[in-house]
Structure 1
Amino acid sequence: MSDLCPPTAPFFGFMGAAVALIFANLGAAYGTAKSGVGVSSMGVMKPDLVMKSIIPVVMAGVLGIYGLIIAVIIGNGVKGPEGGKPQYSSFTGFAHLAAGLACGLSGMAAGIAIGIVGDAGVRASAQQAKLYVGMVLILIFAEALGLYGLIVGLILTSKEAPCS
């Protein structure tokens, strides 16, 4: 057994997969719930605009998919011991943990932003139609935060050090 490949290294990889999924889904759930409340409230005033105002809910849901992608990639990258010899290095475990944190926390931040903007935006655009395009642009920039985390997570999952 090498100091670079302790038997505890897979723990960090599995934690990376878990935090990617957990935090991204927390953001997706918050964004969906918060903007869904706004859509429901707006639907009472103008029911014909409900389908047009569902965009924040969809954008929040996509954040959970980002976390799922990273979690699956990390989960498939964690290697168990073969013949009593570790196959997964600390470096790889830490890289996978960093990937999960980058994606998960970015997804959570994006979900919070989408929820707040979605709630206020759909209510405001129901009263003033000219605000709709501005709301969509703000939502796109909020979604980009989650996408940045996904991109960094994908890059970090490709970092690997052998156990030889």
Structure 2
Amino acid sequence: MSQALTFSDACPAYAPFFSTMGCAAATVFACFGAAYGTAKSGVGISVMGVMKPDLIMKCIIPVIMAGIIGIYGLIVSVICSGGIKARMLLSDAFIHLACGLSVGLAGLAAGVAIGIVGDAGVRGTAQQPKLYVGMILILIFAEVLGLYGLIVALILNTKAQNDDKLC
């Protein structure tokens, strides 16, 4: 025997929509950033590989760092999806949306930064190998922007009550 769902102002029927949009935003925006960073850095590596093919494996770091941005979005999406229920507080749903936007948009920005720095950095490293350490440092600072979004999303998610008794 199934129990009929009851909804209130605090737990409207459309609340799970915002949670799922948070999960989608986390994955989509973070992967857009990762894809842009990978593509832009990959172009730089290809151009650099024509001049100095022995440096290709050394200069693959920007592509790896861009891929990590996508993982941040996936982590938050999986964590937030665990809190989605048929009846849930609207405040929890908005928290999940904020989590997704936080990590997603931070990941998008970090991916763009990694792509631009990676492209110019590997091309510059081909001409002057002393630039390699500087490129890595700048890439670390670009990567940490995505990490900030992940940290904010995880802190926000702890504020969700996820309590069935409140609905």
TM-score using structure 1 length: 0.94
The alignment's C-alpha RMSD in Å is 0.8
Match of 2:4 in 1: none
Listed one character per residue, the Cα deviations across residues 116-161 of structure 1 (whole Å, up to 9, x for unaligned) are 0000000001100111000000000000000000000111111223
Give the aligned partner of residue 68 of structure 2.
62
The residue aligned with 2:58 is: 52
- Matches of 1:155 and 1:79, distance apart in 2: 20
Q: Match for 2:97: what amino acid?
A: L
Question: For residue 120 of structure 2, what is the aligned residue in structure 1?
Answer: 120
**C-alpha displacement of 1:48:** 0.2
Instruction: Give the one of 69, 74, 80 matched to 1:74.
Output: 80
CA distance in 2 between counterparts of 1:3 and 1:105 reads 30
State the identity %: 66
1:83 aligns with none
For 2:154 and 2:36, locate their aligned partners in 1 and report how far apart those are by CA, in whole Å.
24
Which runs of 5 or more residues in structure 2 are unaligned?
A: 1-6
* 2-structure distance, mates of 1:11, 1:158: 20
The structure 2 residue matched to 1:16, chosen from 9, 16, 22, is 22
Q: 4+ runs of 1 displaced by more than 6 Å?
A: none
State yes or no: 1:6 paired with 2:12. yes
When the two structures are superposed, what TM-score results if normalisation uses the length of structure 2?
A: 0.93
Q: Mark the runs of 5 or more structure 1 residues left unpaired by the alignment.
A: 81-85
Q: How many equivalent pairs are there? A: 158
Q: CA deviation at 1:45?
A: 0.2
**Which residue of 1 is the match for residue 96 of structure 2?**
96
